[in-house]
Structure formats: structure tokens, C-alpha cells
């Protein structure tokens, strides 16, 4: 009895270990290819959209099957790293400007340049989309859309507080938010970002203050070659920013990341929200505020009268280890063109990658009007490239977020904060 | 079979008669032949294989990263750096604060868990109507995952829409909502409350089980001697369950130390790293991509806990035989 | 005097137990209430302690918008198989550790105890690589194997305590009657210590049922994802879907709560016989 038990246990274990689970895509006997596609910024509605696009692609390419893998977004990038490192079970991957640097450095991503030379799709893409597809002469990914900041505001609250228009500058914002802040009634002015990625909005205000001397190719640098954090104007910006937190924002926003900020706005407790266009769809679904109660205004400007639009992008790339690169390229081309690209950017409310969107009435009306205003006034809303692709970007995010929270909780001064950021970036940029 | 069993039958009965855990030694010297030895080996093999392959191998393989420059953001240079990762951990300005948080987290969670768990167990020792149902209800936190507990308490401690602030305001204890998860002191309190909620159960179960194995005769004898409640508790109850209590505490210290789930879901270590304990800090470092430093931290955790366990067991052992 | 004392004692007992119960149950109550509110009503002030309008929308959404039913089945399979196998294997090792003294026994116990001290994250990378080489990524078998390994150490430590309270004479007699050692173990010893075995099984089950990080890392397809992955999925980058999450949480907790309700007596009984012993 015992030997039989042990033998069978051993056999079972061996069999289990030998069980072939998932291999990466390789053409099977009948010429059918399965692509594994992994998304990172997962949310249920977006997953549905991608599934829909995949269906369309599979109809056009009956011999290719696409399996979408949708990990919870908080754990996604870590999982993607594991997958890419193991070199198995991943063909098409969602690469973000902030991950593409390290993925590329580790040779995890495939350079599609050769496959895409002479591709007729290039001419349909906006200049920005082409620029981001060909960074440093390599095509690691093709963007599916762009993110950029604009100001979501409550039309009714602004009016009731006696203001004729939403804030256009950061100092307007301080004034209006302070006027609307009523903590005892659970009503607040500005949905401050103090939690995850808090650095992004802090940098946005600093950039608006130093806009006149900023290096457009590296938005963390001044034309003088020093970092933006070294400027005395950065000090002014941060002091106003902290005042905005103290006088016009919910105290709990020290811990607010993306979801809390958006929820603060959609559930009606805050009146202003600086966010990506992505949020439009979410706000439209809100049960607490209706369509007449909100709108979108352009990004806030600094005393310079200008704002720097920190363009962020993400898109689809191919794993270097993929054994089905031609098919993967096909899928990526499909997603970057025509209806597929338009559907994706519309349903996720992203800044589009196709030139044809300029003629689309969808983008010139309602909440999207602010984006048109911004693109039509490039001298006021200057777009500049942040060094988001550097391999230390995640380190920077974690570091700067933690330090900003230290300032918010009174453990650090804004001067110390800026000095620290200045020396960090001076060192990194020196090499 | 040549197994020597001369005092085997006497063993189980000794513990009821001898309070204070004065059991005969657990290990009875036995001699066995080669065939039995093989059987024993075969019995241990499956456990050893599983734990070896799926726990020790990855751990040991992972720990070599602790001595290398292993950063997922750039793997082009993964050279050996000796104790460099450890050095940069110790040099980080936030490190000792995080060690302090870990101690607060462990002690702050453990003591209330023991005290409340003990009290619940004492009250549950006697039968009363609905005791079974009561037990089931009070034991249920143990069935909830750490992640879920974290999310649940994050929702309840939400500053604007959370039920905790609402109740406190209704009770007139506070005038304006407390931003629980945004202020260091409050955030630490909130995560510890969540952990206490979760952990009381384990102590209650373990202590209740131990209490029920103390015989009634001993209490009757104590009552005859005219011992009061307090004296009975310290002279009989406590010594009888000392072993279980000591080991339960050890296990819980290890688990609480190694339990990032609640904190990670509730605060993510914030605000300003003020609720990071060593294991959540380790997650933060892996998210930054520095697996070398994270592994170094993992090794520090293992070694610290091993040392703690060794000293703890040494300290507890002698007291075990007496009361 | 004595009577008054005991009345005071009884009152304090009732008050204390009542407070504990309230503190324990309130979060459960709150999550149920949240799950039954209409999605918009979650953010309405003043807070409702009883939903104005009971709504099953969150629950319906779980099954129509996501594959929650499938996830529940997956979790059930993975947790049941893993905890059963782990309990069986632990019975064998615990038996040896409880009954025989051999050189290295302390080391084996130590090795089991040390597994409890290893932070999971240190092993995640190599584990993923290994599973991927075995072809066990996105496979229930793979997750089951790992869960078995995770459960074994504590389960062995627990079961060892139970064995020590069962007289050796029992299995000696059985073996003299011609049972093999394994036969004696499963036919004679296990039935005697059934409550303890049940308690160990339940601990294993709860651990597997709740495990998040490994499941998220290893499982890809809806056909294999377990419940905790789905729970984590309700946090998306710009939204935490509290409504769906609470509904899913209720459905996650109910089965374990049912087991506890059914088995809490068992657990205490089982542990009474053994508990964790030195």
C-alpha cells in the first residue's frame, strides 16, 4: 500500500511537472498562430474595447488568434516584467513611455523599424504619434493615444461662488478653491494629488512657472542647462502649490492617487480636478453629477501666461522573445489604423493618434473643446518632452512622491524638497 | 518491528495530571531498523520535495540577487557587489524609521490581540446558549484575506464617505472628519486597528483550545484551597497554557512581521513612508525594480526572525517546565 | 455580596462579548450594506446605515460583466485540491516528526519554521521563471503545486501536536494485526484525531482561497483566474469600484464563513487535543 501510494504520488508529481501548459506562440500544424497580448492600464471597459478590436482583427486574419491577458493594473507592470524576463508566453505588450526605457535597455522589446519601413500607415499618424514611434531611431512601440492634462471643473459651483469663469492660472485656482473649501460640509476646492504619482502635478506647476526658459526637448531642464528645480520660480510655484493644498483641498488628499482624485470629483466633493482626458468617460458615468454640472478647461498657466503640456503616451510593442513577430506586427498595424485606432481613442477618451481626428466633430465639442483650444494655441500651451523614458524614472516617481508627502505632512520644507530634486536630476543628467 | 514503546502508553495521560506543562519529554528515544528508516524517509520525502522545490529553491536562487546589482530597469550590468545592497539599505534615510514602524506595528498589534483574545477565550470557556453560533461569528475575520481586510478598512476609514468618521461625528467625539489615512499617526492607528480585528481570532481559538484541555479537577482543587479568581488565574490557568501561549505568540510575531497585505491595501506605506514596515518597503523596492536591494531586505527579514525565534525559544524554554 | 459580584461578572461578560461581537461583525455588515446600495448611492451623504433602495445591481454586474462564477469555481478547485493534498502529505511528515527521534529532526522542524519567515516577494522572480520553464504558467496544476508547498510547513507543525496526544499503543496494535505503517496511520490514527485533521484542512483551505500575489502573477486567462485576482481587478487606474468589490467580497467571504460556522466547534475541539506544541 505505501509503496503504491508513494509511486503514484511521484508519478503524479512528475506528470504534473511535465504537463505542458502555455508555450509562447508558435505556428501550429494547421498554420494557426496564437498571439498573447498583455495589457497594463487595465480597466473593465477598456478590456471590453480591446476584445472588440481583437474580434475585428481575427475576422480579417482567420489564421491568427489573439489571447488578451488583463492583469489587475496595480500588479500589471510587475507581472509584465516577469513575463518578459522569462521570455515565454508574451508576444504583444502594452508599453508605456515610462516602462519602454527599461524594457528596451534589457532587450526585452523588439525593434519594429525594419518591419515598418514603407508602411503606408505612417502618413495617417499625427506628427506626435510618428515622433513617439521613432524615438532614438528605434520603434519599440506605436502609441495608441496620448495623455495630457486639462482642468475638469464644476460649472455650477464656480458660478455659485460668484466667479464668471473657471480658473485659467494657478493663482486663480488658489483663489477659487479657497473660496469653495467648506470642510465641515465635505465640500472642497481642488482634488489635490498627494498619493501615487503626486510628483506629476507638482512638476506641472513648476514647469508652468519656468515656461519661458524651459528646454522643450527635456522639460526637466532649463535652456541654461540647469534643472527646472533650481529656478527661484520653482520655489514660488511650490509655495503656492502647498498653500493650495492647505487652503483649498481636502486634508485626506495627502493620500490621494488617481482613483481617489477622480472619485473626489465624480462624487461631488471636490470642484476642480487636473487630469487626463481618459477621465471624461468616467465623469460622464457619474451618478452624483450630471452633464450640466461640469466641463473641461485648458491646463492652468503660470505667471508666464504659459503652461507646459507634459505629453504622456503608451502603446503596443512586441516582445523580443516572441516567435510570431510578423503576426504581432500585423496586429499592431491594425490597431494603429482606421476604425480600430479611432474606436480605441474615443472609447477611452484619449488624445487621438490619427490626423483625421482633426475633422471629427467628436473632438471639437463638449469636454473635448478644451483640447482643441490647447492644440490651437501651441504658444500658450507649449508641449515639451519629459524624460519619462529614462531607466530611473520609476525610482524618481517613488522618491519624489514620498518626499512630496513629507512636505505635505510638515516634515520637510519646499526649499529642501527642491534642493533635493535639483541635485538628483543634476546628477542623473550629468550621466 | 523493533520499535521500543516501553513508556508510550504512559505519555498522553501525563499531561492532564501535571499542570504547568510538565510533560515527559516529547522525543522518546527509539531504535529502528533500516526498513523502518526507509519508510520514514519515504514519509518525509513528499513534504521535503514540495518545500524544497517551491519554497527553498526559489528563495535561495532569489537571494543571490541580494549580492548583485540586479535592477530590472537595466539588467545590462548584474555584477556582484558584495554587501553593497545592504549598505545602501542601511544608508537610506528612511530605513531606521521603517524599522521603528515595524516594531510599532508588531508590538501594537500583538499586545491587544493577546489581551482581547485571552479575554474572549476565558469567557467562551464556559458553555452558554448559542456559544457555537457566537464562536463562528467571532472567528470569521480569520477567513478574510489580508488584501480584502485592507480594502474594507480603507473604505471604512475613508475621510469623506467612511463610516468610522460618521460614527465618531454622530457620537459627538469629533467635530470634523479625521483624514485617517493621510496623517501619519492616524494612519498607523488605522492599520493597527485593522490588524487587531483580524488577529484576535487566532489567539482566541488557540487559547480557548488550550484552556479546554486544562482539567476541571485542578480548578476544583484550587477552589477548595480557597484561592480567589485572580490567584487561580495566575497559579493554574496561566501556567497550564503557557506553552501554547508562548508558541502562538512566536508564530504570530513571525506572521505579523511578514504581513504586508493589510498595510499595502490600506495605505501603500504612505503618507510619506510613515506606515511602511520592512515587508511593505520591500514591495515598494521591487516595484521600483531594484530586486537586488529587495532581496537583501528579504534576507535581513529572514535572519532577524531566525535570531528572534532562537532567542525567544531559549528565553521561553526554561520557564516551560516550571509554571 | 457574592451574588451581586457574580451578577456584575455576568453583566461584564455579556457586555464584553457583545462589544467583541459588534466589533467583529460590523465590518461584515458594512460591506454587505455597501454591496446592496445602488452604485450612485455609495457616495451619498449623510451615510445610510440601511440602503434606501435595495439593489442587486452590483451582484448582477459581477456575473454579467465579468466571469465571477468561473473564478469561484477555479478558486474552489484550486483550494480544495491543494489543501487536501497538503493535509495528506503533512500527515505523513507530522507523523514521522511526532513519533520518531532521529538525528536531524530538529533541523527538519527548523526548516519548516523558517519557511514562515521568508517574505514571499524574495522568491517571486525565480519561482516565476521555474514555473515558466515547467510550462506551468496560467495553469491550475501549477498554482496547486505551489499552494501545497506553502501549506505543508504550518500544517505539519500543527498536525504534529495532534499526533503527540494519540497513544502509540493504537498504531502498534494495528500493526501487529498486520496493517502496514501507512495503513495504521490512515485507518487507525487519522480517525481518532479527525477534528485536528479537519482543523488543519480548514486552515489550509482558507490560506489557498485567499492567496493573491502568486495567483495574480501566474494566472492569465479567465479560465484559470482565482477570486482574489478578480478582487484586485476592481482597482483600476482611475477608479476603485467599491460597489462591485463589496459584492465580490461578500461572495468570497460567505463560503469560508459557512465552513467556519459549520466547523468552529471542530476547530476548537481539534486544537484542544493538540494546538501548537513545542
How far is residue A405's CA from residue B267's CA, in Å, rounded to a whole number? Answer: 12
Same domain, A128 and A176: no
Cis peptide before B271 (omega within 30 of 0): yes
CA dihedral (B76, B78, B84, B85) positive or negative? positive
| Complex ipTM value | 0.88
Same domain, A373 and A284: yes
Same domain, A305 and A327: no
- Would you give the DSSP letter of residue B74? B
- CB within 8 Å of chain A, chain C residues 191-210: none
Give how far C124 is from chain A: nearest CA, Å.
9
Same domain, A140 and A267: no
Going residue by residue through chain A, which has 431 residues, state the pLDDT in tens, using 9 for 90 and above. Answer: 444 544 454 444 444 444 434 344 455 556 789 999 999 998 888 899 999 999 999 999 999 999 999 999 888 988 999 899 888 889 999 998 888 888 988 899 999 999 999 898 999 998 889 988 988 889 999 999 988 889 999 999 999 999 999 999 999 999 999 999 988 888 899 999 998 889 999 999 999 999 999 998 899 999 999 999 999 999 999 999 999 999 999 999 998 988 889 989 988 889 999 998 888 888 888 878 888 899 999 999 999 999 998 888 899 999 999 999 999 999 999 999 989 999 999 888 888 899 888 788 888 878 888 888 888 888 899 988 888 888 788 889 888 998 999 999 998 999 999 999 999 999 998 87
Same domain, A422 and A306: yes
Domain contains A1: no
Query: Is residue A251 less than 8 Å (CB to CB) from chain B?
Result: yes
Q: Which residue of A has its CA nearest to B157?
A: A252
Chains A–C, number of C-beta pairs less than 8 Å apart: 128
Cβ within 8 Å of residue B109, ≥6 positions away: B192, B195, B196, B199, B256
How far is residue A199's CA from residue A393's CA, in Å, rounded to a whole number? Answer: 11
Nearest CB neighbour to B73, from listed A183, A194, A391: A391
Q: Do B144 and C256 touch (CB under 8 A)?
A: yes
Answer yes or no: are the C-beta atoms of B63 and C127 closer than 8 Å: no
Same domain, A290 and A327: no
Q: Do A259 and C240 touch (CB under 8 A)?
A: yes
Domain contains A373: yes
Same domain, A48 and A94: yes
- CB within 8 Å of chain A, chain B residues 262-321: 267-268, 270-274, 284, 286-290
User: No. of H helices and E strands in chain B?
Assistant: 15, 0
Q: Do A186 and B74 touch (CB under 8 A)?
A: no
Same domain, A190 and A291: yes
Same domain, A349 and A286: no
Q: What is the mean pLDDT of each run of 10 residues along chain C (278 residues)?
A: 65 87 90 85 76 83 86 94 96 91 86 89 87 92 96 91 80 82 85 85 91 90 90 81 89 83 72 52
The domain that holds A176 is classified in CATH as 3.40.190.10
Domain contains A270: yes
Same domain, A170 and A278: yes
How far is residue A343's CA from residue A44's CA, in Å, rounded to a whole number? Answer: 16
How far is residue A121's CA from residue C135's CA, in Å, rounded to a whole number? Answer: 37
Q: Which residues of A touch C235 (CB under 8 A)?
A: 72-74, 259
Specify burial of residue A8 (Cβ count, 10 A radius: 0-12, 13-18, 19+): exposed
Cis peptide before A396 (omega within 30 of 0): no
Cβ within 8 Å of residue A295, ≥6 positions away: A152, A153, A155, A166, A366, A367, A370
Global pTM value: 0.87
Domain contains A392: yes
Q: For C102-150, what is each residue's pLDDT tens digit?
A: 888 888 988 998 998 888 888 888 899 999 999 999 999 999 999 999 9
**What confidence score (pLDDT) does residue C215 get?**
92
The CATH architecture to which C62-273 belongs is Orthogonal Bundle (1.10)
Backbone angles phi, psi at C83, to 5 degrees: -75, -30
B161: pLDDT strictly greater than 90: no
Integer CA distances (angstroms), A144 to A34, A95, A128, A138, in order: 22, 10, 11, 17
Q: Which residues of A touch C225 (CB under 8 A)?
A: none
The structural domains of chain B, ordered by start, are: 1-28 (no CATH), 95-275 (1.10.3720.10)
CA dihedral (A388, A393, A398, A403) positive or negative? negative
Same domain, A354 and A258: no
Element holding C239 (H helix, E strand): strand C239-240
Backbone angles phi, psi at A92, to 5 degrees: -110, 135
Same domain, A204 and A299: yes
Residue C53 has which C-alpha cell? Answer: 433602495
Give 3-state DSSP helix, strand, coil % of chain C, rounded to 5: 75, 0, 20
How far is residue B186's CA from residue B157's CA, in Å, rounded to a whole number? Answer: 10
**What confidence score (pLDDT) does residue B18 get?**
36
Backbone angles phi, psi at A195, to 5 degrees: -90, -135
Q: Which residue of C has its CA nearest to B62?
A: C123
CA dihedral (B306, C116, B85, B104) positive or negative? negative
Q: Do B182 and A251 touch (CB under 8 A)?
A: yes
Q: Which domain holds residue A334?
A: 29-146+312-359
Q: How confident is the model at residue B55 (pLDDT cuts 50, 70, 90)?
A: very high
Q: Which residues of A touch C129 (CB under 8 A)?
A: 82, 85-86
Cβ within 8 Å of residue A394, ≥6 positions away: A98, A102, B73, B287, B288, B289
B14: pLDDT strictly greater than 50: no
DSSP symbols for B100-132: HHHHHHHHHHHHHHHHHHHHHHHHHHS--TTHH
Query: Is residue A191 less than 8 Å (CB to CB) from chain B?
Result: no
B235: pLDDT strictly greater than 60: yes
Classify residue A36 as left (phi > 0), alpha (psi -120 to 50) or beta.
Answer: beta
Going by C-alpha positions, the residue among B296, B245, B212 that lies closest to residue B115 is B245
Secondary structure (H, E, C), chain A: CHHHHHHHHHHHHHHHHHCCCCCCCCCCCCCCEEEEEECCCCCHHHHHHHHHHHHHHHHHCCCEEEEEECCCHHHHHHHHHHHHHHCCCCCEEEEEHHHHHHHHHCCCECCCHHHHCCCHHHHHECHHHHHHHCECCECCEEEEEEECCEEEEEHHHHHHCCCCCCCCEHHHHHHHHHHHCEHHHCEEEECCCCCCCHHHHHHHHHHHHCHHHECCCCCCEECCCCEHHHCHHHHHHHHHHHHHHHHHCCHHHHHCCHHHHHHHHHCCCEEEEEECCCHHHHHHCCCCCCHHHEEEECCCECCCCCEEEECEEEEEEEECCCCCHHHHHHHHHHHCCHHHHHHHHHHCCCECCEHHHHHCHHHHCHHHHHHHHHHHCCCCEEEECCCCCCCCHHHHHHHHHHHHHHHHCCCCCHHHHHHHHHHHHHHHHHC
- Count how many domains chain A has: 2
Q: Which residues of B touch C209 (CB under 8 A)?
A: 145
Query: β-pairing, A312-318 with A294-297?
Result: unpaired
Amino acid at each position: 500500500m505505501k509503496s503504491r501510494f508513494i509511486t503514484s504520488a511521484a508519478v503524479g508529481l512528475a506528470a504534473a511537472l511535465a504537463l505542458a501548459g502555455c508555450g509562447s506562440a508558435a505556428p501550429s500544424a494547421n498554420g494557426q498562430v496564437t498571439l498573447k497580448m498583455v495589457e497594463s492600464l487595465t480597466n473593465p471597459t477598456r478590456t471590453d474595447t480591446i476584445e472588440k478590436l481583437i474580434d475585428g482583427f481575427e475576422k480579417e486574419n482567420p489564421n491568427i488568434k489573439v489571447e488578451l491577458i488583463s492583469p489587475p493594473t496595480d500588479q500589471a507592470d510587475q507581472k509584465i516584467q516577469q513575463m518578459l524576463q522569462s521570455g515565454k508566453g508574451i508576444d504583444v505588450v502594452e508599453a508605456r513611455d515610462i516602462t519602454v526605457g527599461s524594457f528596451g535597455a534589457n532587450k526585452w522589446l523588439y525593434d519594429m523599424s525594419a518591419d515598418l519601413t514603407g508602411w503606408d500607415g505612417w502618413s495617417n499618424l499625427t506628427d506626435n504619434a510618428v515622433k513617439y514611434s521613432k524615438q532614438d531611431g528605434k520603434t519599440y512601440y506605436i502609441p495608441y493615444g496620448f495623455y495630457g492634462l486639462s482642468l475638469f471643473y464644476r460649472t455650477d459651483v464656480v458660478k455659485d461662488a460668484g466667479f464668471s469663469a473657471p480658473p485659467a492660472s494657478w493663482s486663480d485656482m488658489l483663489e477659487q478653491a479657497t473660496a469653495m473649501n467648506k470642510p465641515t460640509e465635505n465640500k472642497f476646492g481642488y482634488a489635490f494629488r498627494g498619493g501615487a504619482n503626486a510628483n506629476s502635478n507638482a512638476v506641472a506647476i513648476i514647469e508652468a512657472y519656468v515656461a519661458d526658459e524651459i528646454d522643450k526637448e527635456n522639460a526637466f531642464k532649463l535652456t541654461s542647462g540647469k534643472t527646472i528645480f533650481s529656478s527661484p520660480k520653482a520655489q514660488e510655484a511650490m509655495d503656492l502649490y502647498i498653500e493650495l493644498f492647505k487652503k483649498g483641498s481636502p486634508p485626506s488628499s495627502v493620500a490621494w492617487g488617481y482613483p481617489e482624485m477622480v472619485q473626489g470629483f465624480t462624487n461631488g466633493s471636490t470642484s476642480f480636478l487636473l487630469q487626463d482626458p481618459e477621465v471624461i468617460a468616467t465623469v460622464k458615468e457619474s451618478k452624483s453629477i450630471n452633464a450640466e454640472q461640469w466641463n473641461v478647461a485648458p491646463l492652468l498657466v503660470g505667471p508666464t501666461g504659459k503652461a507646459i503640456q507634459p505629453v504622456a503616451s503608451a502603446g503596443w510593442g512586441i516582445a523580443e522573445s516572441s516567435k510570431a513577430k510578423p503576426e504581432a506586427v500585423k496586429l499592431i498595424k491594425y490597431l494603429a489604423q482606421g476604425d480600430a485606432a479611432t474606436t480605441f481613442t474615443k472609447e477611452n477618451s484619449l488624445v487621438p493618434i490619427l490626423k483625421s481626428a482633426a475633422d471629427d466633430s467628436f473632438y471639437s465639442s463638449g469636454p473635448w473643446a478644451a483640447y482643441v483650444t490647447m492644440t490651437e494655441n501651441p504658444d500658450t500651451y507649449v508641449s515639451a518632452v519629459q524624460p519619462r523614458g529614462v531607466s530611473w524614472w520609476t525610482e524618481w516617481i517613488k522618491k519624489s512622491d514620498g518626499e512630496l508627502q513629507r512636505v505635505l505632512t510638515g516634515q520637510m520644507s519646499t526649499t529642501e524638497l527642491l534642493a533635493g530634486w535639483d541635485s538628483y536630476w543634476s546628477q542623473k543628467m550629468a550621466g | 518491528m523493533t520499535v521500543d514503546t516501553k513508556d508510550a502508553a504512559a505519555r498522553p495521560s501525563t499531561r492532564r495530571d501535571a499542570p504547568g506543562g510538565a510533560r515527559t519529554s516529547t522525543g522518546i528515544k527509539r531504535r529502528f531498523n533500516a526498513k523502518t528508516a526507509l519508510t520514514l524517509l519515504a514519509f518525509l520525502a513528499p513534504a521535503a520535495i514540495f518545500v524544497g522545490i517551491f519554497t527553498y529553491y526559489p528563495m535561495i536562487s532569489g537571494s543571490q540577487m541580494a549580492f548583485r546589482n540586479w535592477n530590472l530597469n537595466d539588467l545590462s550590468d548584474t555584477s556582484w557587489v558584495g554587501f553593497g545592497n545592504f549598505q545602501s539599505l542601511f544608508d537610506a534615510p528612511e530605513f531606521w524609521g521603517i524599522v521603528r514602524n515595524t516594531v510599532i506595528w508588531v508590538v501594537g498589534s500583538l499586545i491587544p490581540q493577546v489581551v482581547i483574545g485571552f479575554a474572549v477565550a476565558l469567557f467562551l470557556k464556559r458553555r452558554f446558549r448559542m456559544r457555537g453560533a457566537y464562536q463562528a461569528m467571532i472567528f470569521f475575520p480569520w477567513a478574510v484575506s489580508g488584501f480584502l481586510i485592507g480594502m474594507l478598512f480603507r473604505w471604512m476609514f475613508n475621510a469623506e464617505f467612511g463610516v468610522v468618521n460618521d460614527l465618531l461625528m454622530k457620537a459627538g467625539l469629533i467635530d470634523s472628519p479625521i483624514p485617517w489615512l493621510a496623517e501619519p499617526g492616524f494612519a498607523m492607528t488605522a492599520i493597527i486597528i485593522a490588524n487587531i480585528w483580524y488577529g484576535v481570532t487566532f489567539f482566541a481559538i488557540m487559547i480557548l483550545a488550550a484552556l479546554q484541555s486544562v482539567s476541571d479537577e485542578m480548578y476544583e482543587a484550587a477552589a477548595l484551597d480557597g484561592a480567589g479568581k485572580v490567584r487561580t488565574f495566575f497559579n493554574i490557568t496561566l501556567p497550564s497554557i503557557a506553552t501554547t501561549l508562548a508558541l502562538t505568540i512566536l508564530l504570530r510575531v513571525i506572521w505579523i512581521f511578514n504581513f504586508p497585505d493589510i498595510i499595502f491595501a490600506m495605505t501603500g506605506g504612505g503618507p510619506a513612508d510613515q506606515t511602511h514596515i520592512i515587508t511593505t518597503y520591500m514591495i515598494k523596492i521591487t516595484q521600483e525594480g531594484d530586486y537586488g536591494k529587495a532581496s537583501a531586505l528579504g534576507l535581513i527579514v529572514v535572519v532577524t526572525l531566525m535570531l528572534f525565534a532562537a532567542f525567544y525559544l531559549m528565553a521561553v524554554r526554561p520557564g516551560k517546565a516550571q509554571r | 455580596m457574592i451574588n451581586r459580584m457574580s451578577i456584575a461578572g455576568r453583566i461584564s461578560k455579556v457586555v464584553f462579548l457583545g462589544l467583541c461581537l459588534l466589533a467583529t461583525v460590523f465590518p461584515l455588515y458594512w460591506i454587505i450594506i455597501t454591496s446592496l446600495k445602488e452604485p450612485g448611492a455609495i457616495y451619498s451623504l449623510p451615510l445610510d446605515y440601511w440602503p434606501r433602495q435595495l439593489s442587486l445591481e452590483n451582484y448582477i454586474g459581477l456575473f454579467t460583466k465579468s466571469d465571477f462564477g468561473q473564478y469561484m469555481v477555479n478558486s474552489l478547485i484550486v483550494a480544495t485540491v491543494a489543501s487536501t493534498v497538503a493535509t495528506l502529505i503533512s500527515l505523513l511528515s507530522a507523523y514521522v516528526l511526532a513519533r520518531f527521534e532521529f538525528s536531524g529532526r530538529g533541523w527538519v522542524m527548523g526548516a519548516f519554521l523558517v519557511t514562515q519567515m521568508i517574505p514571499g516577494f524574495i522568491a517571486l522572480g525565480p519561482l516565476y521563471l521555474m514555473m515558466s520553464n515547467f510550462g506551468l504558467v496560467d495553469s491550475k496544476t501549477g498554482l496547486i503545486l505551489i499552494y501545497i508547498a506553502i501549506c505543508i510547513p504550518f500544517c505539519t507543525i500543527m498536525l504534529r501536536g495532534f499526533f503527540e496526544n494519540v497513544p502509540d499503543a493504537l498504531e502498534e496494535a494495528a500493526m501487529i494485526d498486520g496493517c502496514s505503517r501507512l495503513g495504521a496511520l490512515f485507518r487507525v490514527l487519522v480517525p481518532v484525531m479527525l477534528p485536528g485533521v479537519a482543523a488543519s484542512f480548514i486552515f489550509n483551505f482558507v490560506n489557498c482561497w485567499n492567496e493573491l500575489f502568486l495567483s495574480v502573477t501566474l494566472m492569465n486567462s479567465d479560465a484559470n483566474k482565482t477570486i482574489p485576482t478578480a478582487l484586485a481587478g476592481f482597482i483600476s487606474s482611475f477608479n476603485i469600484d467599491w460597489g462591485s468589490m463589496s459584492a465580490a467580497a461578500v461572495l468570497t467571504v460567505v463560503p469560508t464563513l459557512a465552513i467556519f460556522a459549520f466547523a468552529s466547534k471542530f476547530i476548537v475541539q481539534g486544537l484542544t487535543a493538540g494546538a501548537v506544541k513545542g
